[in-house]
Chains A and B, each alone.
Chain A
Amino acid sequence: MSDIAERVKKIVIEHLGVEEAKVTENASFIDDLGADSLDTVELVMAFEEEFGCEIPDDAAEKILTVKDAIDFIKANSAA
């Protein structure tokens, strides 16, 4: 598993207070991990902070799962 995937999962675990085993690549933040709309906004901010990238609102709206986040960051980050 890539370093980016590990870091994304770590942020999700910390912010949503969920067990590591639940944070699979296909897990949906809202449907599977108990996040609400404010949690997802904060998650995106945490990804921006961690990876030094900017995630525009229209792109953020499409980040619904762990995999969505990993894919976006892989494509848009130098980290």
Chain B
Amino acid sequence: MRRVVVTGLGMVSPLGVGVQNNWERLIKGESGLRAITSFDVSDLPAKVAGQVPRGPTSEGLFTAEDHVPTKDQRKMDEFIVLAIAAAHEAIRDSGWQPQTDEERELTGVMIGSGIGGLNGIYDGSITLHEKGPRRISPFFIPSALINLASGHVSILYGFKGPNHSAVTACSTGAHAIGDAARLIMWEDADVMVAGGTEAAISRLGIAGFAAARALSTSYNDRPSAASRPYDKGRDGFVMGEGSGVLVLEELEHAKRRGAKIYAEVTGYGLSGDAFHITSPPEDGNGGFRSMRGALKRAGLDPSEIDYINAHGTSTPLGDEIELGAVKRLFGSAIETVSMSSTKSAIGHLLGAAGAVEAIFSIKAINDGIVPPTLNLEDPSDSCLGVDLVPREAKEKRVRAALSNSFGFGGTNASLVFREFK
């Protein structure tokens, strides 16, 4: 089977724009969670979110016009704008510029989203109700369609290879990366631009997740404390938004052009819970099987995994179940692995989470630093004996990292990245 490596990274998150900027702030223990001020939250139970900070690009903040011309922004919902921004960075970082038709046809895109253009659908519904069908924009449908993130990136760059999108709720980003790597392994492409994107923070989005009793509501007056995976005081996740995009490339292709190689994608496991639409089974067998599958594919023993980027959303039940599954799979290797949830700093980026967290896992390998689990002050009893990297990043050699993503519908994906030598 052909080997797949990572040669480009790009990211927009609640910590700002750019991978290096994000990573430095994450390692310093900064939080991207704030009180929501961009819309009325007075009647919503959750009033905190991880919104992409707006401001000058030169300060690591987000200005949409610097990524997508203003006239084109009307044709796409915000999740697409964020994906384009992250894709621009990742593709620039990789240095890959196909020159021939054949090269273009072997370069594909697989950027997914959990929800897609929720805000545009909301606005369109209001327009339809108040003004009638003649006032619905011709861009209404293409703005909202999830696969248009991949579509726009392919059109902008002339990438004519596989054009695809994963849509698996909070596992989207991980599935996109894993599936894209397999397209390269099977020679459908030499290069894939893969990742996830999400921009669903709105009155409707918050109301929906709050109704499912999924969101944190006890820390509205202390936003940066609201996401606290594994802490006894955790009470739900905090919605985040952003996008993570990776350039995946066949190893020999990357070597031939002298590309910088961040890591190798060696493991990918998938599973279904077949249990409940929003809750995992108590024994966490779905997550267990996706992790086990990823390790098997990677040919690694748990003792060779030095870091786990947990799904760890800060829900009372989910964190406990994931931790239990990890303990069972790792056995005595639990003593040497470090496991943290970066959702403690940026919230839950839903369809973008798996991609953004894959990038953090790769940076941990490259820099020999594992990012912290913020707000972990009073760990649940089950955390005893597990290094959850409380509150502060720490230096540690990471030979291989496992990244978990579990989504509504009982859809699980785990990825293994290995240092490239």
Binding site for B on A (CB under 8 A): 14-17, 38, 41-42, 45, 48-49, 54
Contact = CB atoms under 8 A, between A and B. Distances in A.
Contacts of B134: 45, 48, 54
Interface residues of B, number: 12
Interface in B10-53: none
Interface of B: 69-72, 74-75, 134-135, 137-139, 142
A26 to B, nearest CB: 22
Contact of B138 (A14, A42, A48, A49): A42
B69 A41 contact: no
B71 A15 contact: yes
Given A17-B72, A38-B139, A45-B137, 15 more contacts: A14-B71, A15-B71, A15-B74, A16-B71, A17-B69, A17-B71, A38-B75, A38-B138, A41-B138, A42-B74, A42-B137, A42-B138, A42-B139, A45-B134, A54-B134
Contacts of A38: 75, 138-139, 142
Nearest to A57: B134
A42 B143 CA distance: 14
A41 B141 CA distance: 14
B70 A45 contact: no
Nearest to A49: B135
A59 to B, nearest CB: 13
A45 B138 CA distance: 9
A48 B135 CA distance: 9
A49 B134 CA distance: 11
Contacts of B138: 38, 41-42, 45
Contacts of B72: 17
Contact of A45 (B69, B71, B75, B135): B135
Contacts of B69: 17
Contacts of A54: 134
24 contacts: A14-B71, A15-B71, A15-B74, A16-B71, A17-B69, A17-B70, A17-B71, A17-B72, A38-B75, A38-B138, A38-B139, A38-B142, A41-B138, A42-B74, A42-B137, A42-B138, A42-B139, A45-B134, A45-B135, A45-B137, A45-B138, A48-B134, A49-B135, A54-B134
Contacts of B135: 45, 49
A15 B139 CA distance: 12
A54 B135 CA distance: 11
3 shortest interchain CB distances as A-B pairs: A17-B71, A41-B138, A38-B138
Interface centre among A15, A16, A45 (most CB of B within 10 A): A45
A45 B140 CA distance: 13
Contacts of B70: 17
A49 B70 CA distance: 20
A17 B74 CA distance: 11
A42 B69 CA distance: 17
Nearest to A16: B71
A38 B72 CA distance: 12
Nearest to B72: A17
Nearest to B71: A17
